[in-house]
Amino acid sequence: MRAMQIAAAAVLTVALSASLNAQASVAITGATIYPVSGPKISNATIVFTNGVITAVGSNVAIPADARRIDGTGKWITPGLIATATSLGVVEVGAVGDTRDGRARGKDNIAASFRVWEGFNPRSVSLPVARQDGGITTVGVMPSGGMVSGLGAAYDLMEGASAASMVRKAPVAMVATLDNAAAAGAGSRAEALARLRTLLSDAREFNLARLRYDAGNMRELSAGRADLDAMQLVLKRTIPLVISADRASEILNAITIGREFGVRVVINGGAEAWSVASELALAKVPVLTGAMNNIPESFGALGQRQENLALLRAAGVEVAIVGNGAGGEDGFNVRNLRYEAGNAVAFGMSWDDALRSITLAPAEILGLSDRVGSLAIGKVANVVVWSGDPFEYASQAEHVFVAGTDTKILTRQAQLTQRYRQLPVKY
Amino acid sequence: MRHFLVLLCVAGPALQAQTPAAPTTASKATAAPGTGAVALPNADPFPSTYRAAPARAVLITNATILTAAGPQIDRGFVVLRDGKIVSVGSGAPPAAGDAEVIDANGRYVTPGLIDTHSHLGVYAAPGGEALSDGNEATAPTTARVWAEHSVWPQDPQFPRVLAGGVTTIQVLPGSANLIGGRSVVLKVVPSVSVQGMKFPGAKYGLKMACGENPKRVYASRGPSTRMGNVAGYRAAWIGAEAYRRRWDKWLADRQGDPPQRDLELETMAEVLRSNILVHNHCYRADEMLQMVDIAKEFGYRIRSFHHGVEAYKLADVMARDSISGSLWSDWGGFKMEALDGIRANLALVHNAGARAIVHSDDPSGAQRLNQDAAKARAAGAVIGINVPDATLIQWVTLNAAWALDLHDRIGSLEAGKNADVVLWNTNPFSVYARADRVWIDGSLRYDRTDPKQLWRTDFELGFVPAPSTVSGGRR
């Protein structure tokens, strides 16, 4: 019971303050709306009040005091969700002082590391992801070691505190099976064995906490805080997100999930398409992208851009996580929508691609009761696009986060303004 | 040998070396076995053995054509014959004769794309130490090394880049060094040897690098600062200038033994004679403006700034001095000198009148140069810089060809140019675009509808599953 209480206490869901800068009511009319939770609606209106969606449809009442936006010719989608990023915990990759995404841990285990405690809400990359990318919710995940720690989800509110931006924390425990060296192991099988030992020890610890605290227990493979944090995984409160590329690594991850009854999510999954039926059977979701087809390691020889389409066709839940070039987990998280477009170019249906950057990640991270779709009662994370959101020519014209029309000029936009005419005037 | 002498004597003093001399690389480099070495420099010792594959003539009809040399042509035709583009136009196509006729049915035709910044072959997949051959990081200046000697023709990244519509790439050494060595221009074709990929007659490039990389790599032995970097370039050019004078004098009067050859200085002297083009990795505007002054001090030209995330801050100078910008659409932020990367960079450089080029520096990005161009254009549109498709195509073709001094042979669809051509399934600046067919010198090198004919490198056999035939799911 005690473990249950600890686990429950650790799951901190902050209800967004409805009055926080949200305009009372907004109505966007005459647009094509993609609710994701249902089919697209043409010539439709969406209304939200105090940050919560109150109506979506083709024939809805608009409050008299609502701010009206003409959505004619526009496409409206839920705010996009980037599932696994380093936003807010890595600012400039080459500058150590701005890197807060990984813990030192002990023996490559940092299960109790709460990455969100180092989250910087003032990161200049956050507004870029939102204004350029239409992204309103991000998963912030730790990295490094065998077990990297706990990730959190944030809504990209403007000028808010980290505490008010938290959508949910924790949302996942992050681990790796695709990098034996980082896991402190000499081989793939040893990495698997180390993870298995940790889960086994964590279970044993939980069954004998009194004995453990009395110092009457054999030495376990991790410290108390880490063993305690692993309970969230063992109790299925949060998924264990495992980096795995080679088909054998993915199958090992499925096996671990089955052995311990934990919820496994595959991250990376270069060769996931080749074990798609096993993944579908085990109900193991995959986080992967559509812009990498390079056999860039002996663990990723089968990497291909059709991965998402093949997984979806086999019935696997997928969320799109950029795997192309140029910092798609940080500075260029904004490119998520183009990754979805490339998924379509390589065989995925357009609707599935949109789902894979909205509702699917919301479900995987346990946020779908509030974000990821446009339905009554959901948080008003809403994007108005000038056209197909996957196309380069399209822009996010309005990005509402919890009902607030975000406006901030990104650092990049400020630089652009400054140098629009040369010579520059400082 | 007489011929060779004449060529070298054309080169004047460094400060007047702006007039390009005839390439010295044209001369024969090999002596008959047993007769001793050929002592003269720059004589193309690793000559191209590339030959265009024989091919049937092709007539593409009903195409939307972005020629990179004029306005968009709707419902146009292109004729490829004997490796060259014979005609491009609108209206009724010429008689097909023996040519294969392809009805494009509105699909798009463009020149083959050109990547001015590639490390294919020198940083080959599947990676690791064994295939890491891009940086000779043993001394701050290594002008003596040639990238081609690191290229692995079986790098599985080559066919993937070809499938992205890329027909010509410049492979460069990395950026660890102030002066990293010679680049090589390759056609993206299968070959046992790198010589079989080399673009015949293409000039070499010289890779130089500013900023954080050299001073970080050599922190313990120097340079460890930016001022140390600049001192390093200048010292190297002083040595090169002395070498050039020594050789030019000997070549003019042939008195006594020829000077001792020096691979390092030989390459740099060829830059001073305008026979090798400078490709300068540089991020920050202030550093680029210093490199402009160094080029003036030693009488060479910078052909292209590479990466140049702050190119938009000196776009006026780039336009004035005819320095092109080989740039990403939106990389930045990963280190201090990349902090000011903006998406409008390419559009602002273009708008200032300089040549904007989308480069990759990446085997993944190289497959989507067209998409990066589209992304960069969209950022320009936001601030009122509108670039039509017919112009945008130059960012990935003709402007890149200019940076390699190959614009008279590739980079646009004009009669007489090499038949490097891509047929796209839709507008290449759509996120949904894929290359359907790619020709190099009139020879079909990629056909998306025919996976059996797909080029698979030796490495891929057995290791990499054969490609899928999953079709696009565009609605």
For residue A17, give Cα distances in angstroms to A9, A22, A136.
20, 9, 16
Distance from CA of B277 to the nearest CA of A (A): 27
Task: Out of B364, B367, B470, name the one closest to residue A309 (CB).
Answer: B470
Rounded Cα distance, B103 and B246, in Å: 60
For residue B473, give Cα distances in angstroms to A350, B13, B430, B456.
7, 61, 14, 25
pLDDT level of residue B452 (50, 70, 90 thresholds):
confident
> CB neighbours (10 Å) of residue A209?
16
Domain with residue A321: its CATH number is 3.20.20.140
Mean local confidence (pLDDT), B127-148: 97
Mean local confidence (pLDDT), B82-91: 97
Q: What is the pTM of this model?
A: 0.93
- Residue A426 domain-assigned? no
- All residues of chain A having their beta carbon less than 8 Å from the beta carbon of residue B157 are 294
Distance from CA of B156 to the nearest CA of A (A): 7
Chain A interface mutation, best of B132, B284, B431, B460, highest count of A Cβ atoms under 10 Å: B431
Report the chain B residue with the minimal C-alpha distance to residue A322: B364
For residue B4, the model assigns a pLDDT of 33
Task: Out of A92, A125, A346, name the one closest to residue B470 (CB).
Answer: A346
Q: Is the peptide bond before A170 cis (omega within 30 degrees of 0)?
A: yes
User: Are A296 and B377 an interchain contact pair (Cβ–Cβ within 8 Å)?
Assistant: no
Q: Report domain extents, chain B.
A: 112-411
Task: Out of A300, A309, A392, name the one closest to residue B374 (CB).
Answer: A392
**Beta-carbon contacts below 8 Å between A and B:** 167
Rounded Cα distance, A19 and B294, in Å: 59
pLDDT level of residue B10 (50, 70, 90 thresholds):
very low
For residue A281, the model assigns a pLDDT of 98
Q: For residue range B171-214, what is the model confidence (pLDDT) as tens digits?
A: 999 999 999 999 999 999 999 999 999 999 999 999 999 999 99
In this predicted structure, the answer to whether residue B25 has a pLDDT above a threshold of 70 is no
Rounded (5°) CA angle B460-B464-B465 = 130
Residue B99, phi-psi category: left (phi > 0), alpha (psi -120 to 50), beta (remainder): beta
Report the chain B residue with the minimal C-alpha distance to residue A352: B473
8-state DSSP, A237: S
Chain B interface mutation, best of A354, A422, A424, A426, highest count of B Cβ atoms under 10 Å: A422
- All residues of chain A having their beta carbon less than 8 Å from the beta carbon of residue B336 are 92, 94-95
Rounded Cα distance, A380 and A370, in Å: 9
User: Are A295 and B464 an interchain contact pair (Cβ–Cβ within 8 Å)?
Assistant: yes
Rounded Cα distance, B245 and B254, in Å: 13
Chain B interface mutation, best of A294, A312, A348, A391, highest count of B Cβ atoms under 10 Å: A294
For residue B474, the model assigns a pLDDT of 40
User: Are B126 and A300 an interchain contact pair (Cβ–Cβ within 8 Å)?
Assistant: yes
For residue A422, give Cα distances in angstroms to A197, B320, B430.
62, 13, 31
Q: For residue range B27-86, what is the model confidence (pLDDT) as tens digits?
A: 455 556 666 555 566 679 999 999 999 999 999 999 999 999 999 999 999 999 999 999
Half-sphere exposure of A47 (CA within 13 A, CB side): 16
User: Are B334 and A94 an interchain contact pair (Cβ–Cβ within 8 Å)?
Assistant: yes
User: Are B465 and A93 an interchain contact pair (Cβ–Cβ within 8 Å)?
Assistant: no
- All residues of chain B having their beta carbon less than 8 Å from the beta carbon of residue A349 are 473, 475
Strands B421-424 and B108-111: antiparallel
As a whole number, the mean pLDDT across chain B is 91
**Helical H segments across A175-214, by residue range:** 188-207, 209-213
Rounded Cα distance, A225 and B313, in Å: 51
Rounded Cα distance, A388 and A235, in Å: 41
Distance from CA of B1 to the nearest CA of A (A): 47
User: Are B431 and A390 an interchain contact pair (Cβ–Cβ within 8 Å)?
Assistant: yes
Domain spanning B112-411, CATH architecture: Alpha-Beta Barrel (3.20)
User: Are B330 and A332 an interchain contact pair (Cβ–Cβ within 8 Å)?
Assistant: yes
Q: Is B147:B115 a contact under the CB 8 Å cutoff?
A: no
Pseudo-torsion of CA B49, B55, B57, B60, nearest 10°? -90
Task: Tell me the longest C-alpha to C-alpha distance in chain A.
Answer: 74
Rounded Cα distance, B285 and B308, in Å: 8
User: Are A350 and B475 an interchain contact pair (Cβ–Cβ within 8 Å)?
Assistant: yes
Distance from CA of B58 to the nearest CA of A (A): 27
Report the chain A residue with the minimal C-alpha distance to residue B376: A392
For residue A13, the model assigns a pLDDT of 41
- Residue A96 domain-assigned? yes
User: Are A424 and B313 an interchain contact pair (Cβ–Cβ within 8 Å)?
Assistant: yes
Distance from CA of A204 to the nearest CA of B (A): 40
Rounded Cα distance, A366 and A167, in Å: 10
Q: Is B282:B309 a contact under the CB 8 Å cutoff?
A: no
Task: Out of B312, B430, B467, name the one closest to residue A419 (CB).
Answer: B312
Rounded Cα distance, B27 and B251, in Å: 15
Task: Out of A335, A390, A416, name the one closest to residue B383 (CB).
Answer: A416
**Spatial strand order in the sheet of B324-327:** B179-182, B204-209, B276-282, B302-307, B324-327, B356-358
Chain B interface mutation, best of A349, A419, A420, highest count of B Cβ atoms under 10 Å: A419
Chain A interface mutation, best of B132, B364, B392, highest count of A Cβ atoms under 10 Å: B364
- All residues of chain B having their beta carbon less than 8 Å from the beta carbon of residue A419 are 312-313, 348
Nearest residue to B208 (alpha-carbon basis) of B127, B152, B292, B149: B292
Report the chain A residue with the minimal C-alpha distance to residue B361: A325
Distance from CA of B233 to the nearest CA of A (A): 25
> What radius of gyration, in Å, describes the C-alpha atoms of chain B?
22
> CB neighbours (10 Å) of residue B343?
26
- Residue B190 has which token pair? 């299968």
Rounded Cα distance, A384 and B412, in Å: 38
Rounded Cα distance, A358 and A224, in Å: 36
- All residues of chain B having their beta carbon less than 8 Å from the beta carbon of residue A417 are 383
- All residues of chain A having their beta carbon less than 8 Å from the beta carbon of residue B383 are 416-417, 420
For residue B12, the model assigns a pLDDT of 33
Rounded Cα distance, B352 and B251, in Å: 43
- All residues of chain A having their beta carbon less than 8 Å from the beta carbon of residue B465 are 274, 301-302, 304
Task: Out of A294, A295, A345, name the one closest to residue B472 (CB).
Answer: A345
User: Are A344 and B472 an interchain contact pair (Cβ–Cβ within 8 Å)?
Assistant: yes
For residue B39, the model assigns a pLDDT of 54
Q: Is the peptide bond before B223 cis (omega within 30 degrees of 0)?
A: yes
- All residues of chain A having their beta carbon less than 8 Å from the beta carbon of residue B474 are 344-345, 350
Rounded Cα distance, A111 and B464, in Å: 35
User: Are B126 and A295 an interchain contact pair (Cβ–Cβ within 8 Å)?
Assistant: yes
Distance from CA of A86 to the nearest CA of B (A): 12
Task: Out of A330, A341, A394, name the one closest to residue B333 (CB).
Answer: A330
> CB neighbours (10 Å) of residue B61?
18
Nearest residue to A79 (alpha-carbon basis) of A20, A158, A25, A173: A158
- All residues of chain A having their beta carbon less than 8 Å from the beta carbon of residue B331 are 325-327, 331-332
User: Are A419 and B375 an interchain contact pair (Cβ–Cβ within 8 Å)?
Assistant: no
Task: Tell me the longest C-alpha to C-alpha distance in chain B.
Answer: 75
What residue has token string 């949302």? Answer: A171
**Per-residue pLDDT tens digits of chain A, which is 426 residues long:** 344 444 444 444 443 444 444 558 999 999 999 999 999 999 999 999 999 999 999 999 999 999 999 999 999 999 999 999 999 999 999 999 999 999 999 999 999 999 999 999 999 999 999 999 999 999 999 999 999 999 999 999 999 999 999 999 999 999 999 999 999 999 999 999 999 999 999 999 999 999 999 999 999 999 999 999 999 999 999 999 999 999 999 999 999 999 999 999 999 999 999 999 999 999 999 999 999 999 999 999 999 999 999 999 999 999 999 999 999 999 999 999 999 999 999 999 999 999 999 999 999 999 999 999 999 999 999 999 999 999 999 999 999 999 999 999 999 999 999 999 999 999
Q: Is B3:B27 a contact under the CB 8 Å cutoff?
A: yes
Q: How far is CA B65 from the centre of its chain?
A: 23
For residue B11, the model assigns a pLDDT of 32
User: Are B328 and A326 an interchain contact pair (Cβ–Cβ within 8 Å)?
Assistant: yes
The residue range of the domain holding A270 is 2-14+81-134+145-365
Strands B443-447 and A166-176: unpaired
Task: Out of A309, A334, A420, name the one closest to residue B473 (CB).
Answer: A309
Query: What residues pair up with A287 in beta bridges, in sequence order?
Result: A267, A319
> CB neighbours (10 Å) of residue B239?
17
Distance from CA of B140 to the nearest CA of A (A): 21
Rounded Cα distance, A105 and A340, in Å: 35
> What radius of gyration, in Å, describes the C-alpha atoms of chain A?
22
Rounded Cα distance, A240 and A234, in Å: 9
Report the chain A residue with the minimal C-alpha distance to residue B366: A325
Distance from CA of B117 to the nearest CA of A (A): 14
Q: How many domains are there within chain A?
A: 1
Q: Is B314:B321 a contact under the CB 8 Å cutoff?
A: no
Nearest residue to B212 (alpha-carbon basis) of A93, A247, A80, A135: A93
